[in-house]
Chains A and B, each alone.
Chain A
Amino acid sequence: MSNALVPVKADESRGELIQLVSFSLGKEEYGVEVLRVREIIRMPVVTRVPNPPPHVEGVINLRGKVIPIISLRKKFGIMVSEYDKQTRIIVMEVDGELKGFIVDSVSEVIRISSSEIQPSPTVAASGVDQECITGVINQAERLLVLLDLEKMF
């Protein structure tokens, strides 16, 4: 989380400043805009739903609200792995409804300026639907794939 607190230097502030929640799925690191994220929770008991839409793991009880849980690994065609202590659900309002997205782990909130976002290369990471990738962020040590989950539905 330390990055989030570091004040932005003047030369970085070209373009609009945005904050991203970064999370990992398989080998890649992804980011979604922080304003979209309602909350991040640990894996609760998931109730399976029979014959669900693709990638839906089931539903959970989020403080009295029943919301669907979607596996981003399945969605992106990455091998499904067991859930562990790091597994998190990112709850977001997508398409007017709360939905939870299972990710391998959530690492931090980072600030970047919008000028750092590059258009995504034509061959996208691990089979993600092209239309929900808004861009990539190429920083010294890391590559972050920027997602817009709204476009997934």
Chain B
Amino acid sequence: MRTTTMTMRGTTTMLDDFLIRAGLAGIGLSLATGPLGAFVLWRRMAYFGDATAHAAILGVALALATDLPVPLGTLVVALAMAVTVASLAAKGWAVDTTLGVLSHGALALGLVAISFVHGVHTSLEAYLFGDILAVTPVDLVTIWVGSLAVLALLVWRWQALLTATLSADLARADGINPDRERLILTLALALVVAVALKVVGALLIAAMLVIPAAAARAIARGPEAMAALAAGIGALACLAGLSLSLWQDTPAGPSMVAAATAIFALAAIFGRIRRA
């Protein structure tokens, strides 16, 4: 990383460096969003992911106001949001209503709170849509450490998570506590949100969880294959979106999600043909 900062002077190497960092950031993030996205689909947590991601904006405001690192602020608030929603749902609150209120409430509150923090109006867009081309070496390390932590968590609990996802009752009979497994996924989700904010932005984090996994579902015949394929598709979408952004000057985050959507369409058609 040190050499990176030193070679910033040359124009060509600078171009290469920020591109390589952006590419590596996308690949690193996909390692986590692929497998986690599969669980988001299997457990129907898409809106839950949205709410958690929207809360990240509030976390940004909090971090800026208190001079804490932004990823830490987003991690804390995203985790608080995820735990709140999960416990309200467990208490029998209507999940749709709860998510609708908390998700948009947190987003709006976050946007209002950020406007109070001095001098950040210009960068608001970066938090909403991501700013992968401005990924610093420190960001890159944060993304990889966070993603590998999520991946390790999922691999470690894989069998138990899968059993609990299939049926909470079966898990209980097997001596697995499904509530604990749900908490582990909640924690993983908050970590991914904190890490993904810089790459795709709060509004599209859930898309990077859901779309690559949905594309993988059309092809995969087993849960492990689906998770691995989702990671690969996510990485491919990041690189494709990045290229599009570079050559056509489109916003990077939305370009990646658009690329993932195109891959999903191809995978769906391919899956349909193969099954026919």
Decide whether A and B are members of one complex.
no
